Structure 1
Amino acid sequence: MAASGLKVPEMALRVCVVPLALASLWEMATNAQADDTYGEVKFSDLSGFSYLVGVNAVTAAYALVSILLSSLKPLARYDWVILVMDQASAYLLVTSASAAAELLQLARRGDREVSWGEVCSYFGRFCGKATVSLALHAAALACFVALALVSAFRVLSTTGTTCHPPKHAQAQEHEQGRYN
């Protein structure tokens, strides 16, 4: 498949990222629960959840800008920039997902070694909303992983770069009986 044949799937992925990231952001940013006995918990009390909200905002904004700019022909010469930005977005989503997942794991199971009890039995709605937000975040991450692959394919195909060894290396390997 030629790089130009990936325009529609690439655009579909970029369009999907925006509502996924915004829904994840909204679900987490509105996440708070109060309990008469144990007090109140809100997303901003936990830095990993705040980080997830920030990364969702950044990646949704980048996806929206990339959609709006995708119709510009001069942008095609910036394929490397798009590749780097897609990969950076995927990496940011991975790190924020892992931070939020760790917090959810601790909230669900606790950690007896440091006397940290589970809290989801007291703040079930909070944990439920955090889980939904993390699932939406993971879907946005999957889109950006696919976008990074599409961007890499486009850059490699337009620059003529291949993943095959150079001709002289193939000849040497063939002479030595290692290349078929």
Structure 2
Amino acid sequence: MLAKFTLVLGGAASGKSAFAEELVVSTGKSRIYLATSQVLDDEMRDKVRRHVSQRGGGWRTVEAPFELSDALAAAGSDEIVLLDCASMWLSNHLLAGNDLPDRQAALLEAIEACPADVVVVSNEVGHGIVPDNALARRFREAQGRLNIALAARAELVVMVTAGLPMTLKGTLP
């Protein structure tokens, strides 16, 4: 049985989304895909198409690039939510000039209150070099703080590198 709250971390193109999708499908529960990306250009449109194709059928998609609370609250206890991804959600708020600590607190509260099991995908950005511009440094710091807060609350934390999962906290089913 999968944990009530699972965090799947990894770098860009590490296989974290595919791993998280497999975890969600393995539960046999009704699946909700909580999409946080905004499709603002052709490259992102292509990426979204690839992800939809990779996931296959059987998912109910809810697009929520900013506000996740309502979607999480609407999920039933017999469902499972895949939030993909926290990094894109954070980036949306950063670029919109929103209060990041306030938004982070609201997200953590919404995950805790969610009646469904929740799997969150997030980018681990702390393994790279220090970015050369203020916006990228601000994002990296905010992402690190968000990941720490998510990991502290998650019962299961898995790091995916090169498509290979490594359990950091808890036990895989």
TM-score range, shorter chain: under 0.3
Which entry has the higher C-alpha Rg, 1 or 2?
1
Larger strand proportion of the pair:
2
Larger helix proportion of the pair:
1
